[in-house]
A and B are shown apart, each in its own frame.
Chain A
Amino acid sequence: MPFEMLPLKDIINKYFEGDSVEVSLEDKVVRKSIVIDPERCVSCGLCVEACPLGVIDSTTPYPEIDVDRCVYCGQCVEACPLHAVEIIHLLGKVVKNYLIVYRVRRNKKLLYNRKRCIMCLVCKKNCPFGAIYVEEEGIKFDMERCTLCGYCGYLCPCGAIDFEVE
């Protein structure tokens, strides 16, 4: 369900003056934000414990999240008994001369493209859950540990890791 639709006429006109060109891009733009609802929060501290990276600071009246270091894994969302933590997940896509912005909830499935992978192992070094390991046939994902946070897909320099969203 599209959240917003923006026409790209100006940019296309800049390069293809008046030509009828239909532009679609494979690349997606993903932006996330994490918000703690101060009304619901009771400062129980469960989210601080649940965070695998320790980026949540237990302050009053409600905890603060270091947004620069957060990987939006969703552990705090699951841990919160009052559903006070929310991750807003926006996805921008260029389809047929329009920028369509979707609001999506969570990643559903991890897609790994071995052909694109250059074995730089940036994903393995940065995975907050240690769910990535190396085998002869490229890298493997331990799906029991993986929380589909999408951080590896964001880091991957060659776009070998992709996610299917709900």
Chain B
Amino acid sequence: MASTLWYLYILTKKRFIKRFLWAKTDREYTIPPKRFRKIPPVVEYPERCISCGACEGSCPSSAIEMVYFQDHNKKLPRIDVGACIGCGNCVESCPTKVLEIGNLREETLSLPWNVPKYRYFVIDQELCVNCGSCKGVCPVDAIDYDGDSYRIDVNRCIGCERCVEACPVLDAIRIYDEEVLKEKFNRCFEIKFKRMVKEEERGEVIPEVPRIVISLCIRCGNCVDVCPGEIDLKDYKVVECTRCGRCIEVCPTGAMRIGEVSRVSKIKDRCYIIEEDRCIGCRICYRVCSVGAIDISWDTRLPYINPERCVRCGVCYRECPVEAISLTDTESSLKLYRLRKVRDYFESMVSKDLDEISRKYVQLKSDLLEFAQGKVEEALKRIVDEKMKKDDSNAL
């Protein structure tokens, strides 16, 4: 009896307590979450859209597609209402706040915003020609010029790839993502592990001490980990090197580098040309060209462009005060370049030869004069001696 009562008491007590305990949590569960399920987002401010495609990339159900709209003259997201799951990812990821779902846009505006990134962009300072094309096209002003080189602000970058498209030089803006980082870190651990168990195979020896490209370095420390010598990441210097080449293998951005890298232009079929009848010979283009593609002709004293070195950055085109530089096909530019180059080469050859001959001639002249003076004096002495001798013999 007593036990029955006891069990009843426990049961009622537990239920009673639980009822009170659950009362609050149950009520909280009834509050709907902040996701507006089954309500598709709308394009609220189409004029702000920069067609970056962040919403398209963020959509888990592939409900968003970038479509060209005639009346806005750009690509805008088109949302497939049937496929949308109303997660709100697109609204959160939009860097310019174009989309709206419920009042999520307003909420995200108040938050410290940072675009979730899958890919990162870095500028290779050795390949960059400082033309500023990337800065001009960046929709969110993530690229800054510090008076010496251009840099991409990683926090502001939204990964739209416009700078990569606008950059005239191939591979001057490098892209790396989580996958590359993961692969390189794994490789780094592998090497370290093999070294620990003394199974490291000796690879090829690289010909020189690698250098660190400062703008590419993300300070991941992979190189320091694998290096048997010493790398100083504070000063970006390789202090001690055994030339094993491991650091080049594990660097995710290719910041460890040996040898020269050449700038390759993306545009091959078109090239700038200087119209010589318009050119005033101010040589501004010659000064602004950062790849040294412009030479001055000996013959005409006007500049001409070397299409093999030119990266088509367009700095000379922008700086020319009389609009003498225009874009034509590479063939005609190359033709003019070859004509001027051969002429220059010939002129320099002739002038070098002339220099040598004139130098020789000057030496010869002084030698000849000395010789002539000696000979004339000798002859004079001979005449005088003969005369005196004759006089002497006559006197005797």
* Residues on A facing B (Cβ under 8 Å): 3-4, 6, 8, 11-12, 14-16, 23, 25, 27, 29-33, 35, 37-39, 86, 88, 90-94, 99, 101, 103
Contact = CB atoms under 8 A, between A and B. Distances in A.
B372 A33 contact: no
Nearest to B364: A15
Contacts of A37: 387, 391
A52 B172 CA distance: 88
Contacts of A30: 376
Chain A to chain B: the 3 pairs with minimum beta-carbon distance, closest first: A92-B376, A92-B372, A29-B372
Interface residues of B, number: 23
Interface string B358-396: 001101110111011101110110011001100100110
A8 B376 contact: no
Given A39-B394, A39-B395, A86-B387, 16 more contacts: A4-B379, A8-B371, A11-B368, A15-B361, A15-B363, A29-B372, A29-B373, A31-B373, A31-B377, A35-B388, A37-B387, A88-B380, A90-B383, A92-B375, A99-B371, A99-B375
Contacts of A93: 372
A11 B373 CA distance: 14
Interface string B310-332: 00000000000000000000000
Per DSSP, are chain B's interface residues mostly helix, strand or loop, or mixed? helix
Contact of B371 (A11, A16, A33, A91): A11
A12 B361 CA distance: 9
B369 to A, nearest CB: 6
A157 to B, nearest CB: 15
A29 B360 CA distance: 21
Nearest to B392: A38
B384 A23 contact: no
B380 A25 contact: no
Nearest to A91: B376
Given A11-B364, A23-B368, A90 B379 contact: yes
Interface of B: 360-361, 363-365, 367-369, 371-373, 375-377, 379-380, 383-384, 387-388, 391, 394-395
A99 B377 CA distance: 13
A23 B364 contact: yes
Per DSSP, are chain A's interface residues mostly helix, strand or loop, or mixed? strand
B376 A29 contact: yes
B107 to A, nearest CB: 91
A58 to B, nearest CB: 20
Nearest to A37: B391
A23 to B, nearest CB: 7
A12 B375 contact: no
A14 B387 contact: no
B365 to A, nearest CB: 6
Contacts of A91: 376
Output the residue of B360, B373, B377, B380 with the most chain A CB within 10 A: B380
Given A11-B364, A12-B364, A25 B379 contact: no
Contacts of A39: 391, 394-395
Given A15-B364, A92-B376, A27 B369 contact: yes
Contact of B372 (A35, A88, A99, A103): A99
Nearest to A99: B372
Contacts of A90: 376, 379-380, 383
B384 A33 contact: yes
Nearest to B377: A31
Nearest to A27: B369
Output the residue of A15, A25, A86, A103 with the most chain B CB within 10 A: A15
B371 A88 contact: no
A156 to B, nearest CB: 16
Contacts of A32: 380
A91 B394 CA distance: 29
Contacts of B388: 35
A23 B364 CA distance: 9
Contacts of A11: 364, 367-368, 371
Contact of B395 (A14, A38, A92): A38
A15 B371 contact: no
Contacts of B360: 15-16
Contacts of A6: 375
